Amino acid sequence: EIVLTQSPDFQSVTPKEKITVTCRASQDIGTSLHWYQQKPDQSPKLLIRYASQSFSGVPSRFRGSGSGTEFTLTINSLEAEDAATYYCHQSSSFPVTFGQGSRLEIK
Amino acid sequence: QVHLVQSGAEVRKPGASVKVSCKASADTFSNYLIHWVRQAPGQGLEWMGVFNPGAASTSYPHSFQGRVTMTRDTSANIVYMELRSLRSEDTAIYYCAVTLTTLTTNFDFWGQGTLVTVSS
């Protein structure tokens, strides 16, 4: 089973800052890596698929990059509504797995 | 866009079973894949398996094999997930999520979640 490790687990930032979340895979997964945003008491929502493809309707400040074993989610010019937990998800290998989550607090 | 509407919260005793439904808004979901993912209180996401309504086929991870069954009601665009031999650790929110084509593997849209509480 492929293990995804996200960092940091938590960060607290102010609006308009830029942040990055890293997801490292225990083995090469190509670009079969997706990012989701989960706000408190809501279902996850797809942000980025296949490492860098923005999902329909997702604001352009959300960017994904990477391949192989290291991936990055970047959020530019943070807004208050971006407070959430972000999860990476690999679909390269059975069973699909998720990272442990990275919680973002907006001060 | 596909909307997924799940059944309401359930409470079960240890050893019992629970069956959660997920209804898709699309006229047909033959080309979709329906995944089930659960989230224990304050925890991360755990994949439980996938159902292909078009082929009526399933795939479950080892951790749930023998304890989970995914089925469909094609006429009503509903997929069911049944989990048996419940224990307290199964207390979680259960989500269905859809992959809109069999050529992609991300989860495009998610249901609202169903809270299952296992308690004696």
Tell me the Cα Rg of chain B.
14
SS3 state of residue B88: helix
For residue B10, give the amino acid letter. Answer: E
Find which of A96, A98, A103 to mutate to test the B interface (most B CBs within 10 Å of its CB).
A96
Contacts of A89 in chain B (CB under 8 A): 45, 106-107
CB contact A100 to B (< 8 Å): yes
User: What does the pLDDT read at residue B30?
Assistant: 72
Alpha-carbon distance of B80 to B73, in angstroms, equals 8
pLDDT band at residue B50 under the 50/70/90 scheme: very high
B103 touches chain A (CB under 8 A): no
Q: Which residues of B29-56 are buried (b: 16+ CB within 10 A; e: fewer)?
A: beebbbbbbbbeeeebbbbbbbbbbeee
Chain A closest-CA separation from residue B21 CA (Å): 16
Instruction: Give B42's Cβ-side CA count (13 Å radius).
Output: 1
pLDDT recorded at residue B67: 97
Which of A43, A46, A100 lies closest to B44 in CB terms?
Answer: A100
Mean residue pLDDT of chain B comes to 93
pLDDT of B27 reads 65
Q: Which has the minimum average pLDDT: A78-82, A89-93, B23-27, B28-32?
A: B28-32
Length of chain A: 107
Tens place of pLDDT for every residue, chain A, 107 residues? Answer: 999 999 999 999 999 999 999 999 999 999 999 999 999 999 999 999 999 999 999 999 999 999 999 999 999 999 999 999 999 999 999 999 999 999 999 99
By the 10 Å C-beta count (0-12 exposed, 13-18 middle, 19+ buried), B104 is classed as middle
Q: What is the pLDDT of residues B55-67, one digit of tens each?
A: 889 999 999 999 9
